[in-house]
Amino acid sequence: MNLPVVQARLAEADVARIERAAAYVETHDTDQVLAELLPSLTSAERADVSRHLVFDHTAVLVFPDSLDGLREELRRLGLEPGPVTPSVVVRDRLTRRYGPALAGIPVGIVHVAVGGRSVEIFALPVSPDSALEAVAADEREAEHESHHAFAVTAPGPVVPAGLRLLLQERGGAVPDGGGYNGHENVTVLYHRTTTHRRFELRLPGRHDPLPDPTTALLTVMTGAWATQAVATMAELNIADHLADHPGMSAERLATLTSTHPDALRRLLRYLTSLGLLTSADGTYHLTATGQPLRTGTEFSLHPLAQLYGGPFYDSFAGLTHSVRTGEEAFAHRHGQHHFPYFAQHPELGGLFHRAMAASAEMFTPVPTLIDFSAVREVVDVGGGNGALLGHVLRAHPHLEGVLFDRPDALEAARTQLTERCTFVTGDFTRSVPEGGDVYLLSRVLHDWDDERCLTILGRCAEAMRPGAQLLVVERLLPTPTAVAWDVHMLCNVGGRERDEAHYTRMLAEAGFEVRGCHDLPLGASLIDAVRATAS
């Protein structure tokens, strides 16, 4: 006895959406879809991307009254559907969006071949008069699940990683979850565009899963926990103990650090998850990431961890005030700007200068990037502990140095610079020592607004003869490091990071000509300028 074929029914709105998708895949190629989704990509970038991926399909979500007979209904529309397979990923997304009522309802996928590509049809069965009719109406209006898909043609992890970086950094795409589809043996990575359209990259085989958006957001939100965990690791000198005795147990570490064994073990587990430690058989070891927290080593980040976990951490609690008013949160919370505040609290001032020295790695290439052979005197304006000037003087024994700063700042430098250096106190907004061949401004300008920067640059220009050299060390936007530091400067000193063009304009206004710009470690840059000849 032959059973009758169940005929699934599709609403006219769903039929129209399938037909529009079929027309789209038949008339668009990879370059056209990329241009539509990511208009900020140049034609050359699109051409390069198209060498490694191809437009594969367009997807729509429809709502037949049943999955049984869906293929027959699609054939009635003149389409040639493949088999119906389950989609756990889409069902899970719908469940997160509309609640657990959808958790037990199967969602099917069926591909319809169109002109060498396909339309991917997601099907959520919704029977007439069902409560899910509201879900269907919302999805038809919002088109949450509609997207275009690209198949990545290059094997291995390197090219896909580069593609994702380009699409995100240049195209503005935002990762939006994904997962492994065992039925097709592909990993699907979803993205959203700046106009809230969605697309996916399809990578052959299984790849490491990406966190869903909620998990990713929670990771960002709990970044303060990581800051404090690293600060505590520094405060307890855990890196020093593990460097001296690799493979130490939590109990032994607790004895050495005078801490509660169970509480310390929980901290160590968290530090392990952050990549600063590894653990095996109940013992702990430093990783390369944890090594810079050792004390007494060159470029130790130990004081920086304490500074970020201490006064600067506290000031970030006032970031909303800074965003509302444009004023630094540090002064709002402590009653004064952080420079005079640190001067009145020597223990914090000392920590600040040690923390600044921790970033001195960025200065290491400067003595070889610049030709100092014809130079006799180098003036470091606002040089603090003299880390940059010290690098230059040690590399070039024929040089004499002048370190110019506030009295409290110079105290930190007197023990470090003992030869061929003169210490001069003063205020660089009023005057700068004259007679130097090269002047240094390292991480000074980002502390101030444009008006004050022009004042400082003007004082330098007044002190410098035409042709004298000015070297400016700053982090330049739009690098990710500078973007983060820009918010830090807003919150803690009322300054800002700038891009190269911004600095070039200010330097020109103050009477300087920029000759070049060099990359430095730790996301910094060296701007090379000269005092222009008066016209």
CB-CB contact of 301 with 293 (8 Å): yes
How confident is the model at residue 280, as a pLDDT?
Answer: 82
Q: Is 128 exposed, middle or buried (0-12, 13-18, 19+ CB in 10 A)?
A: exposed
Following DSSP, what letter does each residue of 360-427 receive, concatenated? GGGGTTHHHHS--TT--EEEEET-TT-HHHHHHHHH-TT-EEEEEE-HHHHHHHHTT--SSEEEEE--
- Looking at the chain, how many residues does it have? 535
How confident is the model at residue 530, as a pLDDT?
Answer: 97
| CA atoms of 524 and 477, how far apart (whole Å) | 10
| CA atoms of 515 and 273, how far apart (whole Å) | 45
- For the annotated catalytic residues, the residue numbers are 446
Does the bond joining 213 to the residue before it have cis omega, within 30 degrees of 0? no
Q: Tell me, yes or no, if the pTM score tops 0.85.
A: no
How confident is the model at residue 4, as a pLDDT?
Answer: 46
| CA atoms of 253 and 247, how far apart (whole Å) | 10
Taking only the tens of pLDDT, the chain with its 535 residues reads 444 445 678 999 999 999 999 999 999 999 999 999 999 999 999 999 999 999 999 999 999 998 988 999 999 989 999 999 888 778 888 887 887 777 778 899 999 999 889 999 999 999 888 888 888 998 898 888 899 999 998 767 778 878 888 888 888 888 777 777 777 788 888 888 877 788 999 888 887 655 566 777 888 899 999 999 999 999 999 999 999 998 999 999 999 999 999 999 999 999 998 989 988 888 999 998 899 999 988 889 999 999 999 999 999 999 999 999 999 999 999 999 888 888 888 888 888 888 888 888 899 999 999 999 999 999 999 998 888 999 999 999 999 999 999 887 788 778 777 789 999 999 999 999 999 999 999 999 999 999 999 999 999 999 999 999 999 999 999 888 899 999 999 999 889 999 999 999 999 999 999 999 999 998 899 999 999 986 4
Closest among 244, 246, 254 to 279, alpha carbons compared = 246
How confident is the model at residue 214, as a pLDDT?
Answer: 73
Question: What sign does the dihedral 33-36-40-42 (CA atoms) show?
Answer: positive
How confident is the model at residue 7, as a pLDDT?
Answer: 62
How confident is the model at residue 435, as a pLDDT?
Answer: 92
Those residues whose C-beta lies under 8 Å from the C-beta of residue 157, and which sit 6 or more positions away, are 207
How confident is the model at residue 479, as a pLDDT?
Answer: 86
How confident is the model at residue 212, as a pLDDT?
Answer: 60
- Compute the 3-state secondary structure of the chain and give helix, strand, coil in percent, each to the nearest 5: 45, 20, 35
